[in-house]
Structures are given as structure tokens and as C-alpha cells.
Amino acid sequence: MTRKGLICASDKVILAARPAMELVRQFVLDASPKPGDKGATVRIPVMAATAKDFNETSQNYVTSTNSIKYADVVLSGDKISAYTLNDLDALEDDLAPVWGQLAPTAGRAIGKAFVEAVMGVLTYDKADAQKTVATATFADFVKIRAAVSGAGYDPADTVLLLEPNAYNTLVSLLPASVVGEGGVVNSALIGARLGFKSVLEAPHASKTSGAKPSSGNAPEKGVGFAVPANALIVANRYKAPILGAVGNLVEAGQSTDEETGLVIGTRVVVDQAAGVAAWSAEALFGVALAKQNGNGAPGFVQLVTA
């Protein structure tokens, strides 16, 4: 595969992954083309949830209360999407029909992996608070804002994640102009509504066992989570290969999406005996809750229905 083909494929991967990355970007995304290794820890600066009073006497710009805190994110996610071509096809410059189908599929697969990893960090046992809510009417959804605010969170800086039924109910209650203008149905992302930073669909939030019971009765059904935008951190780095160290690796590169920051690595590995060349797109990333070791970062709220 030529350099021209590699660049073309990489660009198509980036474009296809972009819708999913818009969901990830609702939180803290620290993406960099700097090389990283799977299992490595990335230290991300975290701002405290509340501001401190300035002290003229101590000049407390740099003190234990105002110094920068950190959250550690392990680059444990290493997802690839690969396709194999015969060696003659791989040498062709004009593979637009092929890359028009394969590369976008790879991008969507990697974007989906990102979203699943981000959502998967939010589980009932890690929530700092639990609120019982209803989701039958628009008025019910408005009350969710009050519940989140009552738990001590600023809705304007909070992302509301809803399980599919609740999300679809909310979409059905919104004016047609709102649903149509932002591609709400296709993107699983509603812009700033109900006073929240954004509203996302979170399929895993519907697990019945994913909610703490508030009494001795059966567990409530999970409705979703209210997560401050700076309560969740995603790190993304480029996994740089060593040419010749992995199989018959003949070419590698990386592309960065200027809009979302996503960094994708690409590789071409050949099997001369079989007469094939495999192209792959790869994303190295990690996800973590920002609240660690008293660093002042916020937690999140679990939403349930009786």
C-alpha cells in the first residue's frame, strides 16, 4: 500500500469516528500524537471543584490548597480494526472504492469502542449520590435538573446520560425543530437542554442490577447518570510501532483529527508467503474517574426509578 493510500485511509477513519468522539468530548479529553505504550499511566492535571480565597499574607498561589492536583489514567484500551487485501490490490494508488467502505467501517468501530469504554467507567458502586426520578413527562425530566442541583452539582457543567427508553422518551417530547436541527436521532447526543451541558444516550445505564437499592426492596431500575464534565477523563495517545519488530511491518503512520483531537495509528503488515497485505487502524486510550486521592475533582450521581 502506498503512502497516498495510507493517508487516504487514515483520513476516512478519522471522519467516520468523529460522531462518536463528539460524545467523548463532552468530558475531559486529553489527546496527543505523542507516543504512548499500552499499560502506561498518563497523569492529567485536575482543577479543584471549588475556588479558594486569595490570602494576601501567605500569597497562596502555590500552596497545598491551591497547587495542581492530578488524576492518573492507564492506557489500557488498545483497539484495532484491520482488513486484509491481496498484495496486488494493496499496491494500487486508486483504491477509492475499497477505502470508501473499509476505512469508514474501521473508524466507526474504533469510535464505538471509545464510547463503550467511557460509559463503562460509570457504575452504580462508584456513584457519590443516588436520586430517584421519573421519566414519563417533560415535567419529570425538568425535575431531574432540580434533583441533580439538590445533590450539589451545577447542571450547566453536568452531562446527563440516560438509558435508551428514557432518552427516546425525552426525544419524543422535544419540538421537531430541536430534534431535527442537531441530528439528535442519529447522534445519540442532545445539545444543551433542561439546563444541562448536554444529554447523551447510555445503553448500559438500564441494567436493573446497576442501581443501589435505597431500601430492603428489590433494586431500582437504573435510569442514567448525571456526570460533571470534568469528572471523567479520557486519554488518547499514538502507539508508535518499531518497524520490522511486529511481523512484516512495512509502514506505519498516525493521523490527528483537528476537530475532536482523536489520534489514530495506522499500520501495514505483509505476509509475503500468503500474498496478502493487512491494513489496520489502531487507537490507544484510557478512561478514569477524575476523583482520586482527594484531588478535589467531582464525583457523579446515579439516577434510578422506583
Confidence band of 23 (pLDDT split at 50, 70, 90): confident
> Residue 240 and residue 254: Cα distance in Å, rounded?
8
User: Residue 232 is which amino acid?
Assistant: L
Q: What is the pLDDT of residues 128-144, one digit of tens each?
A: 988 999 999 999 999 99
User: What is the pLDDT, as a whole number, of residue 209?
Assistant: 42
Residue 58, pLDDT > 90, answer no
Residue 46, pLDDT > 50, answer yes
User: DSSP characters for the chain?
Assistant: --HHHHHHHHHHHHHHHHHHHHHHTTSEEEEEEEE--TT-EEEEEE--SS-----TTTTTTSSTTTS-EEEEEE--EEEEEEEEEEHHHHT-S--HHHHHHHHHHHHHHHHHHHHHHHHHT--GGG-SEEEE---SSHHHHHHHHHHHHHTT--GGGEEEEE-HHHHHHHHHHS-HHHHHHTTHHHHSEE-S-TTSSEEEE-GGGG-GGGS--SSSSSPPEEEEEEEETTSEEEEEEE----TTTSTTEEEEEEEE-TTT--EEEEEEEEETTTTEEEEEEEEEEEEEES--TT------EEEEE-
All three cell numbers of 250, joined, read 512495512
Mean pLDDT value of segment 42-62: 75
Among 71-80, 176-185, 233-242, 243-252, the least confident range: 176-185
Query: Mean pLDDT in the chain?
Result: 81
> Residue 224 and residue 162: Cα distance in Å, rounded?
4
User: What is the pLDDT, as a whole number, of residue 92?
Assistant: 60
Q: What is the pLDDT of residues 97-108, one digit of tens each?
A: 566 678 888 899
Among 59-73, 150-164, 167-181, 259-273, the least confident range: 59-73
Confidence band of 83 (pLDDT split at 50, 70, 90): confident
> Residue 286 and residue 295: Cα distance in Å, rounded?
19
User: What is the pLDDT, as a whole number, of residue 79?
Assistant: 92
Among 2-6, 52-56, 147-151, 163-167, the least confident range: 2-6
Mean pLDDT value of segment 240-255: 74
User: What is the pLDDT, as a whole number, of residue 32?
Assistant: 92
The pTM (predicted TM-score) of the whole model is: 0.82
